[in-house]
Amino acid sequence: MKLIIGLGNPGSKYKNTYHNLGFMAVDAFAKAKKQLFLKSECDSKTAKGKLNGEEYVLAKPQTYMNLSGTAFKKLVKKYNVSEDDILVIYDDADIPTGHMRARYEGSAGTHNGMRNIIEENNMEHFKRLRIGFQTEELKNKEVALLDFVLSPIDYETKPIFDKCIKEAVSAIEDFVKGEPFDKIMARVNVFDGTK
């Protein structure tokens, strides 16, 4: 059993914001597999499937970003998954727009949702896929991060994020199929959606 959790905020108000890139990734994977998030459980919307004989659960926590750890804890307990079988997908302001990073473990960085997951679960050893959205304005601290992450993705950069989401869908598929994570990292970590 694989558990793939996309982070974001529930509600139409946040639908196309930078902070919902994790939701967008699992939504795109579900759409590709003709699945719907019909079930409400563990403070999340979930969809389930099977790929190459491997069962998986897609989850979108509904607790709002800063309390993602609550849903994470309930999902891990219910599905009794090991750290090796968890993949969390989320936005990252420290990675340039169009770039992505896959990692085995690590700190939360500037991401409050990940910080809450780590604190609530006392766990850092799970796989994560980060979708970057750093701009020059963010890098130079010309705009407030909190305001920016909750703003809609702008029209000019949307095609770049569409490429990132497509790459994330491919990474999720490989993860579910049991592809070595080193191989997924090698591909994702050199991906450039701006080209």
Nearest CA among 87, 55, 66 for reference residue 8: 66
Average pLDDT value for residue range 54-59: 97
Average pLDDT value for residue range 171-189: 97
Does residue 20 surpass a pLDDT of 80? yes
Does residue 191 surpass a pLDDT of 80? yes
Q: Give the span between the Cα atoms of 42 and 39, in whole angstroms.
A: 10
19 as an active site residue: the answer is yes
> For residue 151, what pLDDT is reported?
92
Residue 145: pLDDT band (50, 70, 90) is confident
Residue 1: pLDDT band (50, 70, 90) is very high
Q: What percent of the chain has a predicted confidence (pLDDT) above 70?
A: 100
From 19, 99, 111, 125, active-site residue: 19
Does residue 45 surpass a pLDDT of 90? yes
Residue 102: pLDDT band (50, 70, 90) is very high
Residue with tokens 């059993």: 1
Q: Residue ranges per domain, the chain?
A: 2-188
Specify which of 67-76, 99-108, 138-147 reaches the highest per-range mean pLDDT: 67-76
> For residue 140, what pLDDT is reported?
75
Does residue 66 surpass a pLDDT of 90? yes
Q: Is 104 helix (H, G, I), strand (E, B) or coil?
A: coil
Average pLDDT value for residue range 144-152: 86
Average pLDDT value for residue range 53-76: 97
pTM (2 d.p.): 0.96
Top CATH class, 2-188: alpha beta
Contacts 24+ apart (CB under 8 A), 108-112: 110/145, 112/65, 112/66
* pLDDT, tens digit, 9 for 90 and up, residues 155-166: 999 999 999 999
Tell the burial category of 66 from Cβ atoms under 10 Å away from its Cβ (0-12, 13-18, 19+).
exposed
Average pLDDT value for residue range 6-15: 96
Average pLDDT value for residue range 138-158: 86
* pLDDT, tens digit, 9 for 90 and up, residues 103-136: 998 887 778 999 999 999 988 889 999 999 998 7
Q: Give the span between the Cα atoms of 113 and 91, in whole angstroms.
A: 10
